[in-house]
Structure 1
Amino acid sequence: MNKFWLVLGHTYITKLKAKAFLITTAMTCLLIIGLANIQTIIEFFASDEKEHVAVIDRTESLYKALEKQVNREKITLTKIADMEDEAKKAVKEGEWDGLLVLSMNAEGWPEAVYYANTLANNRTAEELEGVLNRLKTAISAAKIGLTEEQIAVLYRPASFQKVALEENAKTEEELNQARSLVYVLLFAMYMFVLMYGGMIATEVATEKSSRVMEILVSSVSPVQQLFGKIIGVALVSLTQFFVFFAVGFAALKTSGQEVWRLLGLGHLPLSIWMYALIFFMLGYLLYAVLFAVLGSLVSRVEDVQPAITPVMMVVVAAFMIAVFGLNTPESAFVIGASFIPFFTPMLMFLRIGLVSVPMWEVALSFVLLAATIVLLIYIGAKVYRGGVLMYGRMNIFKDMKQAVQLTKK
């Protein structure tokens, strides 16, 4: 057991002290701080975001109504004389940000033309168009003879309530909160597996290329080596995640936001958090074993990426199905896929978080997932022990068979 702790500690300390790890962590923390304070940064560099628009009113009646309804914090209107060519020239020279020409068509309805140097800033044009449409509605109502109260009734949305008849069904608020946590966990698991699974494979391949493995396999059992690498990298990743979370939480709190309220995770039951932790750990273990085994089969670090690509594609597929399932958690496809062990950590948690899942389905998914992990560990230990002693050109399936045969000698 002491040898296991030796492998684990060596893996953890080595990765923790690596320059690449320290630089990546520092840069990501700076990025998190920047994103948490993005509004303040934007406001600092954009001291005056108001758009100054000149208005030519050929109706002699729309300007005052337009000025009352426009958002004065974003747009400043100035009425000018009807000299369109001179006004366009002023826009080109930067004196105005835009020019709005108001008029009436043959049917007596308001219309407008907006001139600007570029149409990249579509916000101003959309704001003015919205105000003009509201004015047209008011003019139409006045012609028909509708009062303001009647107009308000006309545009009042219909009452539409959602009521779940199932006894343990979640309310819409609970679903929104659960959906937030599910999405956060899915994304975290996706990034966790892709980032740190590759690190496990690279760690094994690096030691193998340096011939350190030939010494290790004679003194440490393959299971101890396998789990030492997996848990060591897991602790490194958890350390980095903790740093990211602490920095993000502090940055959000400093900027006046509360992360739990921001994500809508304030009133979720404890069981959801427990399922999140269990599925997260089992999902990591499942894929980590695969990455470690594949890393043991390659002779060069350059071959790691091609070797682990199939597993990464499975992770991507699981994530894409889960994203699709966020809106349709009760579809037959999502339900069926949630029992496939490589998809279970994401999809079964997705279902548990959003809908009521029978306990026998949860138990069956746990049994299938646990059995798959045990089988992978059993086969993986054999492949790992023989694989770390194999060198030469990579051929995954052929190398696995040869690695198992080496363990029998």
Structure 2
Amino acid sequence: MNNKFWIVFLHTYVTKLKSKSFFISTIITAFIVFGISQLDRIIEAFSDNAQKTIGVIDETNGWYEALQSQLQSNKEISLVRHDGSEEQAKIYVQTDQWYAYIVLDVQNAQPKVTYYAKNIADSDVIHGIEQALQQVKIAMMAKQIGLTYEQINALYAPIAIEKVALEEHAKTEEQLNQARAIVYVLLFAMYMFVLMYGSMIMMEVATEKSSRIMEILISSISPVQQLFGKILGVALLSLTQFMFIFSVGYVSMKQSDILRQLLGMNELPLSLITYGIIFFLLGYLLYAMLFAVLGSIVSRVEEVQQMAGPVTMLVVAAFIMAMFGLNAPESPFITAMSFVPFFTPMIMFLRIGMLNVSTWEIVLSIGLLVGTIAFLFVFGSKVYRGGVLMYNQASSWKDLKRAWQLTKK
């Protein structure tokens, strides 16, 4: 690689890095990631933690005491018995002395409960009362037919299924849950960054062509050096942004108990992260090559979306299959698709995270992926060499053939 390649590479990277759009998008994305990772604390900070007083008009025989016993551990609801009229209870609610009141009654041996409040938007309170009343109903009806509490508990106790994997070195359920969460996060990141930065390459090439700068560049540097300079420059830019956002998310998640337990952030599997980086980079190179080649046959910026559509659909299809594979990683369809180079970055990475994939399968999939990238490089460089000099409207995929033929002239 000569100095001209490095000029294109560094110019692409530094220009985009210093742009206001890159800075603003990075900060906003990092802020969103931070907000999502701290969502539990943000909700708690803005929540009204004061207990909500609920008045109870009991027209049954003993339901109030049983309901109060069920809600003792609920820190959000506080019950108070009301022996007065409903009109007085409404006044208490309307003047904010009570949050709401309920009327307990029994009709035809079945409980009838009416809930009154200024509004019924707070479903958490209603759901809490419903659950408690359900338990009271079970207890009351069991008492009528002579069942003891021990018998009731035995009747409603959930069945515990112990899962044992017979395959040697198979992942435990805890490891699978952790891997599933990590794989989902990395798959989503791969999906977003490939689309975002792949289209950036295509847009950059199309913009240069529309301003006729390409003719000047072609006379001073070979198309192949220019192609790889742009791809690697944008690749380094995407990694810079990804590492910053990932670092913010990682540090933030370490402070969040809920997300740390959900994602298993106490111990990140190094091998899984390594494979994630490998497939992320190879997937980026694969799709970046396609986007750059298509960008070279586009004459106007307005045509970018039209030509990018098929490549975008490939990325979307890979992501959808990966989401299906999270619940069925051993599916023959998922196994077969993991060896298709355009789907390998997401689907083989998914299989590695969820299963004990044989080494030869990993090596074969990476070999096929690298081979496809090499083929696209050879084919793409020839198309790129001719495509950057085409200024007619890109109307069909036949323009690829025309671009190829231009390289022979």
| Same fold, TM-score > 0.5, yes or no | yes
Alpha-carbon distance in 2 for matches of 1:178, 1:250: 19
Q: 1:251 to 1:180 in 2, by over 3 A?
A: closer
> Which SS does the other structure have where 2:397 is aligned?
helix
Q: 1:364 to 1:173 in 2, by over 3 A?
A: same
Deviation at 1:336, TM superposition (A): 1.7
Aligned sequence identity (%): 55
Whether the 8 Å CA contact 2:38–2:256 is kept in 1: the answer is: no
CA RMSD across the alignment: 2.3
1:106 aligned residue: 108
1:340 aligned residue: 340
Whether the 8 Å CA contact 1:53–1:98 is kept in 2: the answer is: yes
Deviation at 1:363, TM superposition (A): 3.0
Deviation at 1:195, TM superposition (A): 1.0
Matched, 1:325 2:322: no
Deviation at 1:318, TM superposition (A): 0.5
Give the TM-score, by structure 1 length. 0.92
Unaligned runs of 5+ in 2: none
Q: 1:82 to 1:122 in 2, by over 3 A?
A: same
Alpha-carbon distance in 1 for matches of 2:51, 2:405: 74
Aligned length: 407
Alpha-carbon distance in 2 for matches of 1:176, 1:249: 18
1:263-302 alignment, distance < 5 Å: 263-267=263-267, 269-302=269-302
Give a deviation string over 1:111-131, Cα, whole Å, max 9, x none: 312223433322222211111
1:153 aligned residue: 154
> Which SS does the other structure have where 1:55 is aligned?
strand
2:374 aligned residue: 374
2:351 aligned residue: 351
Alpha-carbon distance in 2 for matches of 1:258, 1:249: 13
1:82-121 alignment, distance < 5 Å: 82-88=84-90, 91=93, 95-107=97-109, 109-121=110-122
Alpha-carbon distance in 1 for matches of 2:49, 2:186: 40
Whether the 8 Å CA contact 1:51–1:75 is kept in 2: the answer is: yes
Matched, 1:55 2:56: yes
2:75 aligned residue: 73
1:46 aligned residue: 47
Deviation at 1:82, TM superposition (A): 4.5
Deviation at 1:136, TM superposition (A): 1.5
Alpha-carbon distance in 1 for matches of 2:287, 2:54: 58
Deviation at 1:243, TM superposition (A): 1.7
Unaligned runs of 5+ in 1: none
Q: 1:332 to 1:237 in 2, by over 3 A?
A: same
In structure 1, what residue type is equivalent to 2:365? Answer: S
> Which SS does the other structure have where 2:393 is aligned?
coil
Deviation at 1:151, TM superposition (A): 2.9
Q: 1:267 to 1:93 in 2, by over 3 A?
A: closer
> Which SS does the other structure have where 1:217 is aligned?
helix
2:32 aligned residue: 31
Give a deviation string over 1:178-199, Cα, whole Å, max 9, x none: 2122212211110111111111
Matched, 1:398 2:389: no
> Which SS does the other structure have where 1:52 is aligned?
strand
1:193 aligned residue: 194
Q: 1:193 to 1:49 in 2, by over 3 A?
A: farther
Whether the 8 Å CA contact 1:58–1:82 is kept in 2: the answer is: no
> Which SS does the other structure have where 1:102 is aligned?
strand
Give the TM-score, by structure 2 length. 0.92
Question: Which moves more between the two structures, 311-320 or 36-45?
Answer: 36-45
Deviation at 1:267, TM superposition (A): 4.5
Give a deviation string over 1:283-325, Cα, whole Å, max 9, x none: 1110010011111111122221221121111100110011001
2:211 aligned residue: 210
Q: 1:396 to 1:6 in 2, by over 3 A?
A: farther
> Which SS does the other structure have where 1:373 is aligned?
helix
